[in-house]
Structure 1
């Protein structure tokens, strides 16, 4: 049987930090005198900061301004996570351990900045599960481009065709499919409905990762 390689998205898949992100974006927007709504948040969830900033705030912003603004927003986000903490979503701890016990390589493939991922893996005590951690800082193109997942697969030494991506956002599902990977999508956090995730190309859609077994994952590849 082919051994899967597992690539995890983080926000909305491993953990739910959406409210931390929303409040950080809202605070940043207020600081620069711009509006930011729940609809704006939903429409850009899963994108890198550079793409969000140009889409919502300043289409012509150069890389330096995006970096400055992005750090401003992320400082608010990290302070919130440090203060309030976060927990693994249902089913995640079991799957991480089960995949590790079977010897399946695991990686992170996230649009978030490196500092955010380091913080989240630290507070959830999960860094040891991952043979590779690829973030938005490591790629030039954000999801739905497959670069982040293909980079993670390369760092694991895995054929993309045997990779299974865990995602919660349509852009991430599209990235997995574009990279020739299988995808399990979860609706628990509620950013995208099941029909949208299926339309994006998810192979399996579940309400919670409690519903997924290692056998189902292995069968995908």
Structure 2
């Protein structure tokens, strides 16, 4: 008897579940000032969603060792977590409803994010959503960042679900590319507006929405209407 779930849901976090982009920007800006390096809005936009070592080597120190990347990344995340703690964060429109609908449908859910695990634990705790997730994959659990599919494949593996049965909720071009490279369906949400609609479509998004208020269980099922592995 096949007991595999009908579908599984994998969530990106920043820009999809919550919007803490401004807190990330201020944290990187603070770190850059401390180390005497420039950091602009363009730098932030170009690297948003990358893992910290990739950002540090791309923007600041191309030859940085793993240890130096870890030290600088920790300093940046300390600034970020303090900001979240002091100012709070709220779920984006439609997220609470969709989390509950996916759970009611019996679909396991996971986090697939480039963020450090400490950030994810804090955000899920602040928003009261940790209980929805059967698996969490952070930037520390993978060696390659998006658009490589490793983070989403690792999430599917933890859930024990065929990637072809998974749908990813994303807001970034690199994340959409990673989902499609993993063989998954992808819903791209534009609410925070970091990426134009045409670039998200070009990346392969199966469904493009302005907010997750436009998505329900029926919309997810329709993405798989043309067949699934048996």
TM-score normalized with structure 2 length: 0.94
Secondary structure of 1:6's counterpart equals strand
Q: 1:95 aligns with which of 81, 94, 98?
A: 98
Q: 1:146 aligns with which of 137, 145, 149?
A: 149
Secondary structure of 1:165's counterpart equals strand
Q: How many residues get paired?
A: 220
Which consecutive unaligned segments of at least 5 residues does structure 1 have?
none
Which consecutive unaligned segments of at least 5 residues does structure 2 have?
225-230
Q: 2:216 aligns with which of 187, 206, 213?
A: 213
Q: 1:80 aligns with which of 64, 80, 83?
A: 83
The separation in 2 between residues aligned to 1:42 and 1:215, in whole angstroms, is: 33
Residue 162 of structure 2 corresponds to residue 159 of structure 1: yes
Q: In the alignment, which residue of structure 2 is the partner of 1:52? A: 55
Q: In the alignment, which residue of structure 1 is the partner of 2:67? A: 64
Q: In the alignment, which residue of structure 2 is the partner of 1:128? A: 131
Over the residues paired in the alignment, what is the CA RMSD in angstroms? 0.7
The separation in 1 between residues aligned to 2:151 and 2:72, in whole angstroms, is: 22
**Segments of 4+ in structure 1 off by > 2 A?**
none
Secondary structure of 1:155's counterpart equals helix
TM-score normalized with structure 1 length: 0.98
Q: 1:109 aligns with which of 104, 107, 112?
A: 112
Q: 1:199 aligns with which of 199, 202, 207?
A: 202
The separation in 2 between residues aligned to 1:125 and 1:101, in whole angstroms, is: 17
Task: After TM superposition, give the deviation of residue 20 of structure 1 in Å.
Answer: 0.5
- Superimposed CA distance per residue, residues 75-130 of structure 1 (whole angstroms, 9 cap, x where no aligned partner): 00000000000000000000000110111110000000000000000000000000
Residue 186 of structure 2 corresponds to residue 187 of structure 1: no
Equivalent residues in 2 for 1:15-26 (5 A)? 15-26=18-29
